[in-house]
Amino acid sequence: MKAIALLLLFTFGSALAQNTITGKIVTENQQPIPAAIISLLDAETNTFVKGELSNDAGDFRFKNIDDGSYVILITSLGLKDFTSEAFTLNNSKKTFVTIVMVDDSDELDEVTVVAEKPIIEVRADKTVFNVANTVNAIGDSGFELLRKAPGIIIDNSDTIIVEGKAGVLFYIDDRPSVLRGQDLVNFLKTLQAADIEAIEIITQPSSRFDAEGNAGIINIKLKRDKSLGTNGTVASSLTFGDFARTSNSLSFNNRNKKTSIYGTYSNFFGKSTSFINLNRTQNGNNFNAKTESVFDANRNNIRLGFDYYANKKSTFGIIVNGNFNNSNSESDSRTPITLSDMNSPSEVLVASSDSRNRTSNLFTNINYRFKDTLGHSLNIDLDYGKYDSERENLQPNRYFNGDETQVLSENIVFFDTPIDISIISGQIDYEQNFLKGTLSLGAKYAKVKTQNSFDAYDKTNGTNNLDESQSNDFAYDEQISAAYFNYSRKFNKFNLQFGLRMENTVSDGILTSLLGDQDNRVKRNYTNWFPSGGLTYQVNQKNSLALIYSKRIQRPNYQSLNPFQYRIDELSFRQGNPFLQPQYTDNIKLSHTYNYRLTTSLSYSFISDFFAQVTEAVGDDQNFIIQRNVANQKILNLGVSYPTKFNDWWRIYLSVNAYRSIYEATNPDFVSTQQNTLSLYAQNTFKLPKNITFEVSGWYSSPSVWGGTYETRSLGSLNLAFQKRFLDDKLTARLGFNDILFTSPWQGTTRFGDLFIDGNGGNDSRQIRFNLTYNFGRDEIKKARKRNTGIEEEKNRID
């Protein structure tokens, strides 16, 4: 039955295909011409309508063209332009049997192609940040690059905010990442800018994408050369903060007509520092905790892929990703404790924390893709991932008297907290022409199984004694079944797109205590419908308008559901919440684009059951931070993005977001609040003599609200960078200075019930960085009649 249904879809789609233009382009000796640019022009106004590229066989095809009179213009390197006679389409098909293009110059043997994309590209469905064209990006990590992308803010806890909203779903090469939380941040910090082609910001994803992601999707496109032969990049960075650290990467691609082998290896080695100060008032008593930490990280990422081009329509591929992190951290905390009726500390808690963390993530994707020249495509993905984490933490807590001359008591604890996560998923996507538009259908199934252990020990005389009252296990299983349809059609100056996605979630969380009196189980089974749609209107060649709506869901991270405690000291810790409910977001956005550069947008979002970062009191002296559904959030955002070039030596890019956040309490202990926030990123790039480029950039964020509870003060960073190219632009050297004024540390206050905290923190963000990047392999393209390279759709697969 499935085979018959698929056959009927193919047949029905073929019967509805109307107003198509096909043709074949060859040289004078009848060799096919790949990668020729075919422009469809209005015959009356000579204005551009649509563009295509010829494939390996020299074939090209336009589909779903409106009735009218047209001409085609064909251009190809080293050949004379070809312009057709005018022709008319009226529910018909136009075929150019063979178009012969002649040499423009017999002297042209080979050329080097030098093309420069704009820093920012604004498209109908997304904004693209082209990493290769920002000097200050060279030597950065993937995580640091995000701050420079339009509309993106990174707050004091490494939370990524897009248009005022947290909760972003990350894709790597068009595939959702299995990594979450700190593991995702560590992975992005290991990636080098030299390995990233572009960052795509999709704030209103269609139904084809997973509904996960409160603030939309960020898709990181890794570099991959499409030329035949072998190409690659080697990069190395040395960074000086409080300590020296290094990161390195190697990427390569070897391709012929039938196969492609590609891969990337990157690493990060070295130490970094951070600090956090929390001045807490609880039940009238004061706890002024100051903590300094040193992190020593050894992170390695590897990505290997293989594609087999079975024929012009079918491609098989496999990709393997590995992320390995071996890190140590040492923290020293000092907390003077002053009782409400005293003016000086009655005692001081001195605590250290020595942690060892080892994580490994292996992920495999198998893919089959079919695509023909009639508009049919079929894509099948099978994925399996395995994540393991081992974390050990030794934490001595010693209480001294007020002048720290005598130890009053001590409590030494040790924690062993392994985590095991396995993920399996399958997805099928089908697309065809339908009713003069494009219809997409698809389904997905994903199963996640996690096993977490929390073993707490009291350390006495060097012996670890299991504390059964604190130790437990947490198992969490989740299954998500999804199906969608999406339809898009262009008519006149309008482009319509709408779709609907259904997702059913079945989850089961089981907490097992060694004592048996704290056992708990949370089972859920719920189905959600996620509509999405948009309408764009091309006013004229320079002005376009878009109105887009989408509904999204943000499920809790696996670690957020885990009820274990992660301690700074025995008075302050973070704890998971197995009762945390998903939060839902309705987004609507109106945007205007001028001359494909200046973009102005106005968006409104309503988030129900918002994940607030709540700090709660325990007894007279303990506190912990936990996520709770205690509020709804409303966000009104005005965004402006403008990259421009004043002249040949000065280019500027500006991204501004002004938004108002309103948090409405649904819990009596939560304090409703609202805040107006302005954030901006600005970049000036100057071309100097002797192939030197100079860049001045910076970001700024005015007072804002973090996690719905912390009211933070303004912060920002000023950065400088110099770049010079050598060896015909194959070798690039870059020297950068980040956070020169050391203005990026955060400050904020929070109140929940009777608890009040005034805090600040940061890391060694003031840095000097030196980077070398070398591109190897051929960068020449033979003249068209001798070329054997081609253009084809590429489906990248990664976690």
pLDDT tens per residue, range 275-296: 999 999 988 889 999 999 999 9
658, with CB counted inside 10 A (0-12, 13-18, 19+), is: middle
pLDDT tens per residue, range 322-337: 989 899 999 999 999 9
Task: Provide the mean pLDDT of the chain.
Answer: 82
Please name the amino acid found at residue 551. Answer: K
- pLDDT at residue 672 above 60? yes
- pLDDT at residue 110 above 50? no
- pLDDT at residue 713 above 80? yes
Domains of the chain: 18-108 (2.60.40.10), 120-347+372-460+472-786 (2.40.170.20)
Q: Which of 346-350, 415-419, 520-524 has the lowest mean pLDDT?
A: 520-524
Q: What whole-number distance in Å separates Cα of residue 253 and Cα of residue 260?
A: 7
Instruction: Give 76's pLDDT tier (boundaries 50, 70, 90).
Output: confident
Q: What is the DSSP code string of 714-775?
A: PEEEEEEEEEEEETTTTEEEEEEEE-TT----EEEEEEETTEEEEEEEEE---EEEEEEEEE
Q: Whose structure tokens read 């200075």? A: 737
pLDDT at 156: 60
Q: Which of 64-73, 112-121, 155-164, 592-601 has the lowest mean pLDDT?
A: 112-121
Q: Whose structure tokens read 């071309």? A: 687
C-beta separation of 381 from 797 below 8 A:
yes
Cα-Cα end-to-end distance for the chain: 32
pLDDT tens per residue, range 156-165: 667 788 877 7
Please name the amino acid found at residue 194. Answer: A
Instruction: Give 424's pLDDT tier (boundaries 50, 70, 90).
Output: very high
CA distances 474 to 133, 231, 256, 511, 624, Å, are: 47, 47, 49, 5, 20
Q: Count CB neighbours of 493 within 10 A.
A: 12
Tell me the whole-structure pTM to 2 decimals: 0.75
pLDDT at 134: 57
Please name the amino acid found at residue 45. Answer: T
Q: Which of 207-216, 270-279, 513-522, 729-738 has the lowest mean pLDDT?
A: 513-522
